[in-house]
Amino acid sequence: MSTQAAPVKETARKNTVESIVTELIDINSEIFELKEELVAKGVPYTTLNALVDLARNEKEQDLFELKKSALSAAKSEYGVGAVTSELLENYLDKLVELEEDLGQVRKLARANELEPQAINFLTQVIRQNPGDGGTRVVGKIVEYARACGITVSGVQLVVDNTPAEPESVLPKIELPEPEKGGWKQWRQIATDVAIGLLMTIIALSLLT
């Protein structure tokens, strides 16, 4: 497991929605990076997900056998470039901790009566569109919804009435200094988030 994080530096976060979505993006990005590195060293995604699941459920014997099998298969295919036992153990501990963190953030979202599907969708859209923070995609969803005769209203009211950021359930980490004008961009993203919260459930139905 990771060591205790350093105290957080005071930073102005805008509201509960933005705080939770940002935290989910950060955690999911770290999970993705760890998994990508392990996959590159010979551990398939399916095996990796099974390892994480076994570790989280403390099925030690099954976990031991699957790790042994995964290491052997990786060694056979990748040779000296294969994942080592130490690296797999270390990354597996981190992945388990990050999955637990995700659960805590989602629990916080439910406690604030945020729609899980909408939050998950926004997290994915913003994370996959780092250039504009999901602005174009969310805008298109609203356009398509209007084209279907769906009225979009009350967006600014949602932004204004979103409560201030709650105390995070996760260990505090020191945040980097924001670039000049960075929080103006996050204010725009917060508005986009509010639009998405209003339209995501309907949009998901339209897109499937």
For 40-53, what is each residue's pLDDT tens digit?
999 999 999 999 99
6 domain-assigned = no
34 domain-assigned = yes
Task: Name the residue range of residue 94's domain.
Answer: 16-207
Q: In the prediction, which pLDDT does 134 show?
A: 86
**Is the predicted pLDDT of residue 169 greater than 60, yes or no?**
no
pTM over 0.75: no
Long-range contacts of 38-47 (CB under 8 A, 24+ apart): 38/83, 38/87, 38/88, 38/91, 41/74, 41/78, 41/81, 41/82, 41/83, 41/87, 42/70, 42/73, 42/74, 42/75, 42/77, 42/78, 42/81, 42/82, 42/83, 43/70, 43/74, 43/83, 43/88, 47/73
120 domain-assigned = yes
8 domain-assigned = no
Q: At 92, give phi and psi (nearest 5°).
A: -65, -40
Q: In the prediction, which pLDDT does 1 show?
A: 43
Q: In the prediction, which pLDDT does 150 show?
A: 80
Type of residue at 181: G
